[in-house]
Amino acid sequence: MLPKRKPHYKFPLIPVSLIVTLISFIFLYYYYTKRDSHFAEFSQTLKTSHTLQCSSQALALSEKFMWYAPHSGFSNQFLEFKNAVSIAGILNRTLVVPPILDHHAVALGSCPKFRVIEPKDIRISVWDHVVELVRSGRYISIAEIIDISSLVSSSLVRVIDLRDFVSIWCGISLDFACLNDLKSQSPVSKSLKQCGSLLAGLHGNIENCIYGVDEDCRTTVWTYHVDGHEDGVLDSFQPDEQLKQKKKISYVRRRKDVFRTLGPGSDVESASMLAFGSLFSAPYKGSESYLDIHESHQDQRFLSLMEKIKFLPFVPEIMIAGNEFAKETIKAPFLCAQLRLLDGQFKNHHKATFHGLRQKLESLRQQGPLPVHIFVMTDLPRDNWTDTYLGDLVSDAHNYKVNFLREDDQLVMQAAKKLTAAGYGQRFIPNSESRIGKKYCSNQRLPDVLLYVEQTVCSCASLGFIGTPGSTIAENIELMRKFGTCSRGS
Ligand SMILES: *[C@@H]1O[C@H](CO)[C@@H](O)[C@H](O)[C@H]1NC(C)=O
Ligand SMILES: *[C@@H]1O[C@H](CO)[C@@H](O)[C@H](O)[C@H]1NC(C)=O
């Protein structure tokens, strides 16, 4: 059998291998001689075939929108949200309100070290995380936690929930995305992917449709002045020579007027969507890392907006729960201690973190009356307190009464339930009245509101507040205390 078959196989094999060799040679020839032009052409074809466009319904909207990519923990996201509100006000664009991202699901990097993720990359990771939140029933808008009703009712800024925006702009209902466990090849999944690429600006800017802001804290500090007088000026903080050489970077940081660059009258005006990367900013070496927008402006509308966003409270459901815990459970004047003990930068500073608390408690104990009531909020699980100063406090019941909340406490769960029930009405959906009261996902889980309730309790601590130095949570509590929010909402 075998000898018979052999010639049968040999015959066609020779020409095939010849052809393959020939093609390889032709390919290699082209590859090495015309590599650049050939591949430019190739990628051009790819681009055209994948070009995404705004849907006609998106282009028909009279409103212009902006979104941004929040990152890191809640307090950072809150800060970026405030920055986004002020920019949306300046640019007169409707702000697409994002959900609260999981703690550290998205990272930015370090502005002072000039090591941050590209704006379009951070946008797409935010988008992917958003889809994940919808699928797992954990999506909660930041506007369901932070009360922006006074901003919206005074028309200082227009907002739309990201889910509603997606359903209008991309024509995808996110209801579908959460109803069933989607296969990655399903039509809804594909549309979601396309919508994400478009919104992240992965395929570049598209006229009238999307403009992705490429500027980030390595190159730009946004400013806002009546006459735009700082526009184009070098910022006082620049990468030093050592860094430039070590990292082979050539960044120059310029101050740019956000209104002139991106506002009405600029090239960007016609874009239906303006997409920022991170809007995180912090003071650094006498400058600001990314946003330096202050109330020095003359415009009354802008001044009112800035005044309002100085302090944005939690929604009433959270405020009420926090006040109730202070009044009905602690039932006495108390001190609040906010102790971050676990996360990266805080892990190695336990001694310093406890030091301030120890001193304060010692003096309160000497003044009396006893026991001294304390409310503790910390990321250290209760079961791990034993060998710490917290353990000492708990066991010294004669001198101290330690209070704390857990995620599954009745009070916290109740607040989450009330908030979820009220949430849909709070979402300010301009374009679709019919959606109000409609549930988004049947698999929606209760949000974790412990952190926000705890902050509210701390705003009520009349014996004082000891926070962890460098913690943004501590900063927010100080702000709440300064604005005297404790009795509000009760
Ligand atoms: C702001 O935008 C709205 C809606 O797009 C528009 O009606 C209004 O005239 C704009 N206001 C200014 C001051 O440009
Ligand atoms: C808390 O205690 C548990 C059990 O003793 C231990 O496994 C865990 O590593 C501790 N966690 C921290 C953050 O100390």
The answer, yes or no, to whether the previous bond of 98 is cis (omega within 30 of 0) is no
Distance 299 CA to ligand 1 centre (A): 15
pTM, 2 dp: 0.84
pLDDT band at residue 10 under the 50/70/90 scheme: very low
Angle at 365 between CA 363 and CA 367, to 5 degrees: 70
At 187 the pLDDT is 78
Measured from the Cβ of residue 59, the count of other Cβ atoms closer than 10 Å reads 12
Q: How far is CA 113 from the centre of its chain?
A: 21
pLDDT for res 178: 56
155 lines ligand 1 (CB under 6 A): no
pLDDT tens-digit readout, 181-239: 556 667 778 888 999 999 999 988 998 999 999 999 989 999 998 888 888 888 888 88
Smallest CA separation from ligand 2 atom 2, residue: 384
Nearest CA to ligand 1 atom 13: 92
Judge residue 105's burial from the number of C-beta atoms within 10 Å of its C-beta, 0-12 exposed, 13-18 middle, 19 or more buried.
Answer: middle
- Specify the DSSP class assigned to residue 326: I
More confident residue, 183 or 256: 256
Strand 94-97 and strand 159-161: the pairing is parallel
Sequence-distant (≥ 6) Cβ neighbours of residue 485 within 8 angstroms:
311, 313, 319, 456, 459
Give yes or no for a contact between 440 and 428, defined as CB atoms under 8 angstroms apart.
no
The CATH 3.40.50.11350 domain(s) of the chain lie at 316-407+448-482
Candidates 64, 67, 89, 68; CA nearest to 224 is 89
Nearest-angstrom CA–CA distance, 334 and 318: 19
Q: Residues with Cβ within 6 A of ligand 2?
A: 342, 381, 383-384
Lowest mean pLDDT among 231-240, 322-331, 475-484: 231-240
Mean pLDDT, rounded, for 38-60:
57
Does the Cβ of 267 fall within 6 Å of ligand 1? no
> What pLDDT shows up at residue 260?
94
Please say whether the structural domain 316-407+448-482 has been given the CATH code 3.40.50.11350: yes
pLDDT at residue 482 greater than cutoff 60: yes
Q: What is the Å distance from ligand 2's center to 384 Cα?
A: 6
Taking the centre of ligand 1 as the mean of its atom positions, its distance from the CA of residue 211, in whole angstroms, is 19
Give the pairing type, strands 273-275 and 233-234. unpaired
**Type of residue at 230:** E
Q: Per this entry, what is the length of the chain?
A: 490
